[in-house]
Amino acid sequence: MVSLVSRLKPLIAAACLALLAIPAAASAQSQKVLKFIPQADLRILDPISTTAYITRNHGYMVYDTLFAMDEKFQVRPQMVDKHEISKDQLTYTFTLRDGLKFHDGQPVRSADCIASIERWAKRDALGQKLAESTDAWTAVNDKTFRLKLKKPFPLTLEGLAKPSSNVPFIMPERIAKTDAFKNIEDPVGSGPFKFVKAEWVPGNKVVYVKNTDYVPRKEPPSWASGGKVVKVDRVEWIYIPDSATAAAAINAGEADWWEQMPPDLIPLLAKNKQVTVKNIDPLGSMGLLRFNFLHPPFNNPKMRQALLYALNQQDYVIGIAGDPKNGHPCYSYFTCGTPLSNEISADPLKGKRDMEKAKQLIKESGYKGERIVIIDATDQPIVHSQSLLTLEMLKKLGLNAEVQAGDWGTLITRRAVKETPDKGGWNIFHTWLVGPDMVNPAVNFPIRGTGDKAWFGWPTDNRLEELREAWFNSTDVNSSKKAASAVQQRAFEFVPFIPTGQFILPTAYRSNISGVIIAPMSLLWNVEKK
């Protein structure tokens, strides 16, 4: 009898839940629901194991961070209440603020923070750098923990406040213990929104509800710092793969906010007085052309330099962003509009396009008519238009170039192939990075010259690495700028990749939405819906 009851228990519980769910669903009508069309489909819930921007944005919904960077590139405490740095710069002591709770009701403890940071430090480039200098993380008590360094690491707080992928989000210790190369499945965080797993339809819909237990900071929001005050009850991410349909949905009021729209479609929304189209991303994104350093002809620096003289960023910006209003050339290896960007040694890329000089360099390189394979992803317009422009440029230079088209899934698999181009390898591919990922030598991963360990293309250049190391040791703004200029100077000689310009994809939202935060990533708190 007892066993029967206990066996029936879950059933009864389920029935009660179902009964409760009906009024809940009914009252959903009167709730404030923000309908958001995201830039991509959310498929991976783990912001540490992937650098995908959509997963980063998901991370900002459900997780919180110890520190955050504001719009003036200053580090502000977020979950941390106060922190102390010892005089010798070797000991950092952090104290968490009151009232921090995970979505499962557990308080946020020092152990959770330490486990999360340690997992992040296994994957993130800046995190790895921090880990090299780290002696140990220790919990003083449940709310206070300490970082001891082996040698001073001036970027410690910048690392913990890193705004873009990978962001050091804080997760419960039990989840943060997962292998850093394995995806976590349980999206429990302490952030301003809760993920509703039962309503998740991958490829279509992601649902978040307001975390009513969240205690926001008192400061006004600036990027991901300050108070994360949620002003809606529920957020639905509706993924619409077809941009013409998404534009129509915004026009018809079926969605409130479209994160990123192709600039070409602006005229469709401009006529509608209910819709605002705006560039809210202050840093935009940077396009880039990447060489393969393992195979001819681009293993020869002269060949890479030749393209610097030929590549016209104006063309690329317009090819990607459509309208000159939505982009501009950026003759720097660091995101334009940020402290370290500069135009030192940029003349080959900046001046009047000099095809004769380019042809001369090609001649000097001893190019023997090797076939140049550009791999293209036709489902990514930003990659596709760059590929076609590069093909045209190479043809004009008299090079034997060819575009091999596939989808993005094929491209990212193929670019990891180190074989020669005729055996499934490649010579050139294009992609783009958001501004925060190129702001300094620490996060700028395509610039690195660590050979086999470097990003696809595998350039080896010890000089670049030395200069990067020197930058880490710079202590103030001026020396940091100087060291970054030295990195860039070397980059224009060595040419690990060519920046193809900076562009901004506008966002569009309806007039019943207010309080959108200007930031290089979409943040959904502070947004009000009438």
Partner 1 sequence: MLAYIIRRLFSTLVVMTVVAFVVFSLLYLTPGDPAAVIAGDAATTDDIARIRANLGLDEPFLVRFGTWAWGLLHGDLGTSIFTKLAVTHLIAQRVEPTVALTLCTLLVAVAVAVPLGVIAAAKAGTWIDRGVMAFSVLGFSVPVFVLAYILILTFSIELDWLPVQGYHNLSDGVWEWLRHLILPSLALGTVYMALIARITRATMLDVLSQDYVRTAQAKGLAPSSVLIGHALKNAAVPIMTIVGIGIALLISGAIVTETVFAIPGIGRLTVDAILRRDYPIIQGVILIFSAAYVLVNLAVDLSYMFFDPRIRY
Partner 2 sequence: MSTLALPAARSTSPTWLRLRNALRRHPTAIVGAAVLGIMILVALFAPWLGTIDPQAVAPLRRLKPPSAEYWFGSDMLGRDVYSRVIYGARVSLAVGIAVALFSTFVGLAIGLVTGYIRWVDAIVMRIMDGLMSIPSVLLAIALMALTRASIGNVILAITLAEVPRVVRLVRSLVLTLREQPYVEAAVAAGTTLPRILTRHILPNTVAPLLVQATYVCASAMITEAILSFIGAGTPPNIPSWGNIMAEARSLFQIAGYLILFPGICLSLTVLAINLLGDGMRDALDPRLARRM
Give the residues lining the site for partner 2 (CB under 8 A): 242-244, 247, 262, 264-265, 267-268, 314-316, 318-319, 322, 378-379, 384-385, 388-389, 391-392, 403-407, 409-410
Which tokens in the block code for residue 42? 């959310």
Closest distance of CB 317 from partner 2, Å = 8
Is the peptide bond prior to 292 cis by the omega test (within 30 degrees of 0)? no
User: CA-CA distances (angstroms) from residue 270 to 217, 284, 517?
Assistant: 37, 21, 21
Which residues in the 177-206 window bind partner 1 by CB under 8 A?
179, 181-183, 185, 200-205
Nearer to partner 1, 221 or 499 (CB): 499
- Residue 25 has, within 13 A of its CA and on its CB side, a CA count of 7
Among 39, 43, 174, 231, binds partner 1 (CB under 8 A): 43
Closest distance of CB 148 from partner 1, Å = 28
Contact in structure between 250 and 275 (CB atoms under 8 Å): yes
Query: Could you tell which of partner 1, partner 2, none binds residue 433, using a CB distance below 5 to 8 A set by kind?
Result: partner 1
Which residues in the 71-130 window bind partner 1 by CB under 8 A?
123, 125
Can you tell me which residue has the tokens 């940077």? Answer: 286
Contact in structure between 499 and 350 (CB atoms under 8 Å): no
Q: Hey, how many other C-beta atoms are within 10 angstroms of the C-beta on 3? A: 7
Closest distance of CB 450 from partner 1, Å = 9
- Vertex 427 angle, CA 505 and 370, to 5°: 140
Nearer to partner 2, 130 or 401 (CB): 401
Burial-class residue 18 by CB neighbours within 10 Å (0-12, 13-18, 19+).
Answer: exposed
Closest distance of CB 343 from partner 1, Å = 25
Which residues in the 217-246 window bind partner 1 by CB under 8 A?
238-242, 244-246
Query: Mind giving me the DSSP string for 78-123?
Result: SSEEEEEE-TTS-EEEEEEPTT-B-TTSPBP-HHHHHHHHHHHHHH
Nearer to partner 1, 45 or 121 (CB): 45
Among 453, 476, 478, 530, binds partner 1 (CB under 8 A): 453
Query: Could you tell which of partner 2, partner 1, none binds residue 264, using a CB distance below 5 to 8 A set by kind?
Result: partner 2
Closest distance of CB 248 from partner 2, Å = 9
Site string for partner 1, 294-333 (x = CB under 8 A): ----------------------------------------
Residues 6+ apart with CB under 8 A from 14: none
Query: Could you tell which of partner 2, partner 1, none binds residue 243, using a CB distance below 5 to 8 A set by kind?
Result: partner 2
Q: Is 195 helix (H, G, I), strand (E, B) or coil?
A: strand
The reply on whether position 293 binds partner 1 by CB under 8 A is: no
Per-residue b or e along 242-272, where b marks 16 or more CB atoms closer than 10 Å to that residue's CB: ebeebbbbbbeeebbbbbbbbbebbebbeeb
Nearer to partner 2, 267 or 515 (CB): 267
Residues 6+ apart with CB under 8 A from 426: 292, 373, 374, 375, 404, 414, 415, 417
Closest distance of CB 485 from partner 2, Å = 31
Closest distance of CB 272 from partner 2, Å = 13
* Residue 191 DSSP code: S
Closest distance of CB 246 from partner 2, Å = 9
Burial-class residue 324 by CB neighbours within 10 Å (0-12, 13-18, 19+).
Answer: exposed
Site string for partner 1, 250-269 (x = CB under 8 A): -xx-x---------------
Q: Which neighbouring-strand residues pair with 139?
A: 145
Phi-psi region of 451 (alpha: psi -120 to 50; beta: other; left: phi over 0): left
Query: Could you tell which of partner 2, partner 1, none binds residue 441, using a CB distance below 5 to 8 A set by kind?
Result: none
Which tokens in the block code for residue 342? 């500069």
Among 34, 45, 269, 517, binds partner 1 (CB under 8 A): 45
Among 418, 460, 481, 528, binds partner 1 (CB under 8 A): 418
Closest distance of CB 50 from partner 2, Å = 21
User: Strand 80-85 and strand 75-77: pairing?
Assistant: unpaired
Nearer to partner 1, 89 or 410 (CB): 410
Q: Which residues bind partner 1 (CB under 8 A)?
A: 41, 43-45, 49-52, 55, 123, 125, 165, 179, 181-183, 185, 200-205, 238-242, 244-246, 248-249, 251-252, 254, 379, 407-410, 412-414, 416, 418, 424, 431, 433, 437, 445, 452-456, 458
